[in-house]
Every structure is written in structure tokens, then in C-alpha cells.
Chain A
Amino acid sequence: MDIADVLKHTSPDLFLPDLQATDKPGVLVELVQGLVAGSPTISKQDAVLQMLESREALGSTAVGPGVAFPHGRTLAVQKLTVLIARSKAGVDFDSVDGEKTHLFFVLIAPPQDSGHKYIKSLAALTDRLQDDALRQRLMEADDFDAFCTALGGD
């Protein structure tokens, strides 16, 4: 699976270029609000939020340099859905390296996604986001299209 495949699961409505929350719980709420607002088939905000919070208990998903990948499976979604968000100021998301997190790629999948499509998507994203210059361009991208072009480029 490559980045172009991953991007099929997101949309301009699932892009939050300027997160306002300043701490981890607040960011999780803002991300979930974005999912509900941006996806016509997701309505159960509490269920999604509780699942993502539980997933963070397993270990912080802020594993990339300045990047977090909150993810998990929930009955509240019907298909793999990807939300992309950005915090200009950065947030303490309990990252592995102790640095602030600026970019968020949220991947949520239904329980019956047996092909583990979302783990493959996670693999494509975590690999791509290792690139320092790319992350810089993503921070500067003006809109969703510019963001995706940078992310999808080689």
C-alpha cells in the first residue's frame, strides 16, 4: 500500500490545518469532533473518543518525529477513515522522544477490517513521515491539496 492509497480514505473535510487545543486530551476531542463533522457516516463521538483514549493507554501513538498516529478499531465507523490535523504550536502528546507533536494522522477502522488495511496504511505513513524536509513542507502547506501533493510526492 502506498500513500496514494491511504489518501483515498481521507478528504478535504477531514483536514484540520490549525488545531486549537493545547494538551493531549483536548487534541483527542478536537480530532474526534473533526471526524464526526467531516464524515457523513460517523456520528458517535463518545464511542470514537473513548476508543482512541483507550488506545493511548496502550502506549502513546506519537512515535514519529513530531508526528502522532492515533488509531484503532471501533464499531462506530463503517470503513477505514483517515483524518489529518496540524498544530502550529505543537502539543505535548507523550511522544517517545519527548518533543512536541505537530502533525496528526488519525486512522480508524471497523472491527471487521480483516485485511488489516489500516495497519498497512500506518506502515506507509510512519515510513513516509521519517523525512525531515517533507514534514517541514507539510507544516507550510496552504491547503489540503498542497498537503496531499507534498505527502504523495517522491
Chain B
Amino acid sequence: MHPELQKLVLLQDIEANIREAEEQGEELKELGFNLDGLNQLKERAEAMAGEINPRHLAYYRRLTRRFGHAVVPVIDNLCTGCFANIPAQFVSATNENLLQKCESCGRILYWP
């Protein structure tokens, strides 16, 4: 996997867990979970963002604002963001030094 993609995936995962702690926090606390480390988690997200090429990060942010999720998994050769078909030759190129984008919606593609 492209190292930059790995960082973007982790950033998106951490941000999803931050959002969940914020939106479902009361529910999680009722179950007994302690969410005191929220600021620490935000710092981690910031540190991770700091390691990403600013151009890639800006693109990630733009997609996140537009779609909610910037990086989407490709499942059964489909972009799970817009359900466009991802050609097979795309799949074989996943390890190359490029971030792969869906040609139809522009989301960053990830092969889980």
C-alpha cells in the first residue's frame, strides 16, 4: 500500500472515532466507557495530519467536506462511494507510488 494512503486511512479512522465520541458520547458513557482522552485523540489526529503531504491533505479535507468520507474501500471492483466500476488494471496498480482516485467521483480508493 502507498505509505501516504496508509496515513490517510489511519487519519480517517481516528477522525471517525473522534466524531463518534462526540456524537454518541452520552450513550457510550452510559455503557461505562470513559472518553477522557478525547483531546489526546485529537492531538494524535493532528500529528498524523502533520505527516501527510499538504497537497494530499488538502484534497482529503475537500473530499471529506463534500462526501463525509474521503477514502473509500473498493469492494467487488466497485468504488463504494459512487458505485462506479474500477477497471481491473487499476487494481493491479494499487501498490505503485500514486494515490488512486475514482475517475468518476474523485474519492481516494483503498483496497481493504
A residues sitting closer than 8 Å to B (CB atoms) are 41-44, 46-47, 50-51, 54-55, 57-61, 63-64, 69, 72-78, 96, 110-112, 116, 119, 122-123, 126
Contacts of A57 in B (CB 8 A): 37, 40-41, 44
Looking at B6-14, B54-62, B89-97, the stretch in contact with chain A turns out to be: B6-14
Closest residue to A44 on the B side, CB-wise? Answer: B112
CB distance from A102 to the nearest CB of B (A): 17
A76/B35 contact (C-beta < 8 A), A47-B13, A111-B13 known:
no
Partner of A41, one of B10, B41, B112: B112
Say whether A46 contacts B6, CB under 8 Å. Answer: yes
Contact indicator per residue, chain B 21-36, by CB within 8 Å of chain A (1) or not (0): 1001001100111111
Say whether A51 contacts B69, CB under 8 Å. Answer: no
CB distance from B30 to the nearest CB of A (A): 8
Say whether B31 contacts A123, CB under 8 Å. Answer: yes
Contacts of A112 in B (CB 8 A): 69, 80
Assuming A57-B37, A58-B38, A75-B112, what are 8 further A-B pairs, CB within 8 angstroms?
A47-B6, A54-B17, A55-B17, A69-B33, A72-B16, A72-B17, A75-B9, A76-B112
Say whether A63 contacts B31, CB under 8 Å. Answer: yes
Contacts of A58 in B (CB 8 A): 17, 21, 35-38, 40-41
Closest residue to B69 on the A side, CB-wise? Answer: A111
CB distance from B46 to the nearest CB of A (A): 12
Contacts of A96 in B (CB 8 A): 32, 34
Give Cα distance in the complex from A46 to B24, angstroms: 26
CB distance from A70 to the nearest CB of B (A): 11
Say whether A126 contacts B112, CB under 8 Å. Answer: no
Partner of A75, one of B13, B21, B27, B31: B13
Contacts of B31 in A (CB 8 A): 63, 122-123, 126
Give Cα distance in the complex from A96 to B31, angstroms: 13
Give Cα distance in the complex from A14 to B44, angstroms: 30
